[in-house]
């Protein structure tokens, strides 16, 4: 991890990019705002009745939970798919 | 004289003016050329706008009754957005200053517009092939071996689609000769052939390989221009012929899902956009399959908004490619500092496609999604909501994040050229205008829009879906769980004809080839042996050419004679 490296190590190695979890102060602030907005949006579900076509849709927090899980599922699906269909970048040139 | 000339122009199919006018583009200098192209688009659009529903221009050719100009309630939204796209493409391409791209792009747009007005399958076939022929130069331009290969594969798939369309038209002709474009049964021979012809151009599952394979291989402006017309022409024709065909609901649902997973792992951001394009077509195809007023409105409106926001995204990635030389996620990041305006426009395109309320995707895609629930297709509704979260992932977050934010690669580049910024700016503005004033598109739609897109529950639900999905992204990033981009080739449906088909052909022909080789080699060695034996026998020192004494010869003849005599007597 980047933040656990000694500070005098030159930042030349690209290998740790993927696991670079350090966030800029701006990104941290933005994330906090996002969490705040999410909480408000979630709470609104208990104030406003969303009229939907189905009972499931009208359940409180349906869209919040579905959106969150769907995003994780899409990413997970991509990772699983990668195992089967990812080839070297020169695949068609060989 | 002048008025009769104008009268002739006014009876031509719209768009044809752009095609004919494009012939002069290569010979005009820079500025007059652009004014000329804008003039053509404006003239074509004005003419098209004035056309009422119904048949207007018919002709008879080789015993075929052709309908050259025919419009119905679906034509207008497609026509308007095709002209807008053609104009934006010209502005965006000013920087490249390439006559091939400009000529080809204008002719391609014109053919696509003219095709919207085709009233019979024979006329449509001509335009169908012309869209392929005029646009292939956009990929071919540059002429590297890689582009040549892509251009040939592109042309191959477009021509196959055209041949299927021609086959369908021939089948219709043999059944009674009515070639008028209208509702068809996909289970009939003619209907089936035409269904597949449209399916290839609309990038149905497993017929979609050409789209992701070839579009990103074109030039910067080329990819943008290609993304606007062919696939949406196919959507328009599916509406005309197969509205309400239930199979389309399931085909469309698969289209919204599969490309989304591909887009997660694809490294080239322009290719990510082609997967995203495919996913968007899926929503439109579902709308066609549902076939109600609400869903068909959804398809038309979505196509309208989609062409514009997708253009903005392709334009932004084109600008990135121009400045940095790449659109690979593994090589990009942190560009917002040097390209702030491009970043803003890209984000507007991204939030529009993700259908945030107040942006164009929300007021158009919602119609289709609502129609699935209204008609009781609950599973399809779930899939479309899921696919909406997926759109947010690949087009809403991945595109802007990896190009402009993410890991700063230290690029010190210039902002996009002014012409590109203007094109992106107008596109972004349209995304917002449509999003805030949906009536600007709704009034063109085939049916009156009664759906309340702004109901509090709907807006709240959409915000929750999107914001919580973004929350998931932030969580994955903060935990280092978001999968790293890898510079790789992702196998897609084009693999079927680029690798699998050659392998099958090889598997069949290899034994035949081996047998052929065996026979040839065997025959050759026998032949060589014969030649060797005969040369050794007939050469001067050989057995046949040897000189012998005459007494020996006489003795041989005598022996033969004696043998024959003995034989004769023994047989008596």
For residue B214, tell me if it sits in a domain.
Answer: no
According to DSSP, the β-strands at A86-87 and B489-490 are: antiparallel
Mark whether B340 and B415 lie in a shared domain.
Answer: yes
Q: What percent of chain B has pLDDT over 70?
A: 98
Mark whether B522 and B405 lie in a shared domain.
Answer: no
Give the C-alpha separation, B342 to B425, whole Å: 9
Partner residue facing B488 (CB), from A38, A78, A88: A88
For residue B334, tell me if it sits in a domain.
Answer: yes
Mark whether B406 and B522 lie in a shared domain.
Answer: no
Are B451 and B366 a contacting pair, CB within 8 Å? Answer: yes
- Beta-carbon separation of A37 and B381 below 8 A: no
For residue B209, tell me if it sits in a domain.
Answer: no
Q: Which residues in B lie closer than 8 A to residue A87 (C-beta atoms)?
A: 488-491
Tell me the average pLDDT across B548-564.
85
Taking the model in full, what pTM does it have? Answer: 0.88
For residue B535, tell me if it sits in a domain.
Answer: no
Mean confidence (pLDDT) of chain B: 92
Mark whether B266 and B409 lie in a shared domain.
Answer: yes
Q: Is the pLDDT of residue A13 over 90?
A: no
* pLDDT tens-digit map of B83-138: 999 999 999 999 999 999 999 999 999 999 999 999 999 999 999 999 999 999 99
Mark whether B484 and B508 lie in a shared domain.
Answer: no
Mark whether B346 and B469 lie in a shared domain.
Answer: yes
Mark whether B266 and B372 lie in a shared domain.
Answer: yes
Predicted pLDDT at A9: 41
Mark whether B380 and B522 lie in a shared domain.
Answer: no
Predicted pLDDT at B572: 57
Per-residue pLDDT band for A3 (boundaries 50, 70, 90) equals: very low
Partner residue facing A64 (CB), from B385, B456, B468: B468
Tell me the average pLDDT across A11-21.
46
Mark whether B484 and B502 lie in a shared domain.
Answer: no
The three-state secondary structure class of B68 is strand
Residue B505 is part of which domain span? 498-528
Partner residue facing A70 (CB), from B374, B389, B478: B389
- Beta-carbon separation of A75 and B374 below 8 A: no
Per-residue pLDDT band for B2 (boundaries 50, 70, 90) equals: low
Predicted pLDDT at B1: 55
Nearest chain A Cα to B372, which residue? A53
- Beta-carbon separation of A67 and B486 below 8 A: no
Find the helix packing angle between B99-116 and B75-93, rounded to 10°: 180
Predicted pLDDT at A93: 81
Q: Is the pLDDT of residue A17 over 50?
A: no
For residue B248, tell me if it sits in a domain.
Answer: yes
Per-residue pLDDT band for A18 (boundaries 50, 70, 90) equals: very low
B295 vs B537, more confident: B295
Residue that has been written with the tokens 């024979």 in this structure: B122
What's the domain count of chain B?
Answer: 2
Mark whether B467 and B326 lie in a shared domain.
Answer: yes
For residue B341, tell me if it sits in a domain.
Answer: yes
Mark whether B398 and B505 lie in a shared domain.
Answer: no
Query: B474-504 burial, b for 16+ CB within 10 Å, e for fewer?
Result: bbbbeeeebeebeebbbbbbbbebbeeeeee
Tell me the average pLDDT across B253-279.
95
Interface contact B491, partner A, CB < 8 A: yes
- Beta-carbon separation of B466 and A79 below 8 A: no
- Beta-carbon separation of A57 and B373 below 8 A: yes
- Beta-carbon separation of B378 and A23 below 8 A: no
Per-residue pLDDT band for A11 (boundaries 50, 70, 90) equals: very low
């Amino acid at each position: 991890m980047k933040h656990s490296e000694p500070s005098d190590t030159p930042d030349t190695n690209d290998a740790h990019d993927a696991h670079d979890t350090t966030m800029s102060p701006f990104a941290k602030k933005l994330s906090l705002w996002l969490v705040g907005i999410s909480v408000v949006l979630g709470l609104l579900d208990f104030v406003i009745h969303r009229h939907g076509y189905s009972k499931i849709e009208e359940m409180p927090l349906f869209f919040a939970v579905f959106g969150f899980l769907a995003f994780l599922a899409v990413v997970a699906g991509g990772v699983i798919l990668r195992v089967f269909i990812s080839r070297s970048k020169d695949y068609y040139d060989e | 004289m002048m008025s009769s000339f104008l009268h002739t122009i006014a009876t031509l199919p719209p768009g044809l003016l752009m095609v004919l006018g494009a012939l002069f583009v290569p010979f005009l200098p820079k500025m007059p050329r652009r004014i000329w192209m804008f003039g053509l688009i404006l003239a074509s659009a004005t003419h098209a706008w004035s056309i009422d529903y119904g048949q207007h221009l018919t002709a008879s050719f080789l015993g075929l009754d052709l309908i050259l100009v025919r419009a119905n309630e679906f034509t207008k939204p497609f026509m308007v957005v095709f002209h807008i796209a053609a104009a934006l493409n010209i502005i965006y391409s000013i920087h490249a200053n390439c006559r091939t791209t400009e000529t080809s792009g204008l002719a391609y747009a014109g053919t696509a517009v003219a095709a919207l007005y085709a009233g019979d399958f024979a006329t449509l076939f001509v335009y169908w092939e012309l869209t392929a022929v005029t646009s292939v130069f956009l990929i071919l331009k540059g002429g590297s071996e890689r582009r040549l290969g892509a251009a040939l594969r592109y042309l191959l798939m477009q021509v196959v689609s055209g041949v299927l369309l021609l086959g369908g038209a021939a089948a219709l002709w043999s059944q009674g000769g009515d070639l008028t474009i209208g509702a068809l049964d996909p289970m009939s021979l003619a209907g089936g052939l035409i269904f597949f012809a449209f399916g290839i151009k609309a990038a149905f599952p497993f017929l979609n390989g050409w789209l992701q394979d070839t579009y990103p291989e074109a030039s910067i402006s080329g990819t943008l221009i290609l993304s606007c017309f062919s696939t949406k022409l196919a959507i328009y024709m599916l509406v005309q012929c197969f509205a309400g065909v239930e199979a389309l609901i399931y085909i469309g649902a698969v289209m919204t899902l599969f490309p989304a997973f591909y887009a997660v792992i694809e490294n080239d951001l322009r290719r990510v956009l082609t997967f995203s394009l495919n996913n968007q077509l899926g929503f439109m195809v579902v709308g066609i399959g549902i076939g109600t007023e609400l869903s068909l409105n959804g398809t038309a409106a979505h196509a309208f908004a989609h062409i514009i926001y997708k253009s903005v995204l392709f334009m932004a990635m084109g600008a990135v490619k121009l400045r940095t030389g790449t659109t690979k996620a593994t090589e990009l990041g942190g560009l917002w500092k040097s390209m702030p305006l491009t970043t803003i426009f890209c984000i507007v395109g991204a939030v529009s496609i993700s259908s945030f309320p107040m942006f164009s995707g929300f007021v158009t895609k919602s119609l289709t999604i609502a129609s699935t629930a209204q008609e009781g297709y609950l599973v399809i509704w779930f899939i479309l909501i899921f696919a909406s979260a997926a759109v947010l992932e690949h087009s809403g977050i991945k595109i802007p994040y990896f190009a402009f934010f993410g890991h700063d690669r230290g690029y010190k580049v210039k902002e996009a050229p002014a012409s590109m910024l203007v094109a992106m700016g107008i596109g972004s503005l349209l995304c917002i205008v449509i999003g805030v004033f949906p009536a600007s598109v709704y009034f063109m739609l085939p049916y009156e829009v009664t759906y309340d897109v702004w109901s509090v529950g709907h807006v709240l639900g959409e915000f929750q879906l999107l914001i919580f999905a973004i929350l998931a992204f932030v969580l994955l990033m903060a935990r280092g769980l978001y999968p790293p981009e890898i510079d790789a080739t992702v196998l897609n449906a084009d693999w079927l004809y680029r690798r699998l088909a050659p392998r099958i052909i090889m598997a069949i022909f290899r034994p035949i080839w081996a047998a052929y080789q065996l026979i040839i080699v065997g025959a050759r060695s026998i032949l060589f042996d014969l030649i060797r034996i005969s040369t050794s026998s007939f050469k001067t020192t050989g057995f046949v050419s040897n000189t012998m004494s005459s007494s020996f010869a006489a003795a041989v003849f005598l022996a033969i004679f004696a043998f024959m005599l003995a034989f004769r007597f023994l047989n008596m």
